[in-house]
Amino acid sequence: MANFIKIQSKGTAINNIGSYLINASSVLTVLQMNQTTTDIYLEENADEAQKTKIVITHTATGTGKASMKDAINNALTASPGGNPSHVDLPAGISVTNIAFVTT
């Protein structure tokens, strides 16, 4: 299992361009919310009463194509030998926004 997964964002805002590293051991689950949004739910810290999730906005996955959820899960279960595991985006999908949200 990878220690970190790496997701590349092509967002237009200056604070949303480039690579994001996510600690793989803190990921509880990945949910594809719709064709353009995928949520990564993270473990709660003992100090926090709030839950944290990462909301990834991306171009549409289309019907019958590989999903963003599958791409993230593949990266989480990869064995890259100490290097970050890159999330290989399905063809035609690009990440347009990554937001960290507490609920």
- Please report which confidence band the pLDDT of residue 27 belongs to, taking 50, 70 and 90 as the band edges: very high
21 compared with 64, residue with greater pLDDT? 21
| Tokens (6 digits) for 54 | 């990462």
Specify the pLDDT at position 61: 64
Residue 89: predicted pLDDT? 87
- Mean pLDDT score of the chain: 83
pTM of the model: 0.81
Identify the pLDDT of residue 18: 84
Name the residue with tokens 């963003």: 68
Range of the domain at 41: 4-102
Least confident of 25-34, 46-55, 80-89: 46-55
Mean pLDDT of the 74-99 span:
85
| pLDDT for the residue numbered 45 | 63
Q: What DSSP assignment string belongs to 16-64?
A: GEEEEEEEGGGEEEEEEEETTEEEEEEPPPTT-SS-EEEEEEES---TT
**Structurally, how many domains does the chain consist of?**
1
